[in-house]
Homo-oligomer: A and B are copies of this chain.
Amino acid sequence: MPTDPKYLRDFACFQNLTEDQMAAVARLATAVCYPPHHILFREGEPGERLFFMLKGEVEVLYQIGAADQERVDIVAGEEIVGCSALIKPYVYTATERSLTEIEVLEINAGELRQLMEEDYALGYTIQQQALSFLMDRIIDLRLAR
């Protein structure tokens, strides 16, 4: 279900897009609220959806050896969840599940990747944002060790 492009303006990561680019992304996006304990995706599944989270908290779970899934991180607030859907080989590297109610913009990742490769300027801008989120996450993880 396409989203009103105006909704994208709430996200810092879309603010450098042109009107046309924002409209193109909005066509692939659905604004959704999920309750707590909703599994967004599972480790090893194909990266079919990307979640631009506006509000809430998501836990990151890994299968480590034969043990049960273990929580290795929590992401909160304005974040890109499921970044591995943008990175080859486009397979989720973790299971992610909402801890609170979350407000997300859910985007068809395959169609977004196609759009990013048809319009490299758009692709470049979105990648810049993803890089910035990942770098912040690295800093947080390093400081938390």
Contacts and interface: CB of A to CB of B under 8 A. Distances in A.
Nearest to A140: B141
A134 interface: yes
A143 interface: yes
Contact of A134 (B93, B123, B138): B138
A3 to B, nearest CB: 24
A83 B120 contact: no
Contacts of A135: 83-84, 87, 93, 134
A66 interface: no
Interface stretch (A21-29, A49-57, A95-103, A124-132): A124-132
A32 interface: no
18 contacts: A62-B142, A62-B143, A72-B143, A73-B142, A73-B145, A87-B135, A88-B128, A88-B132, A94-B142, A117-B124, A120-B123, A127-B128, A127-B131, A130-B131, A134-B135, A141-B141, A141-B145, A145-B145
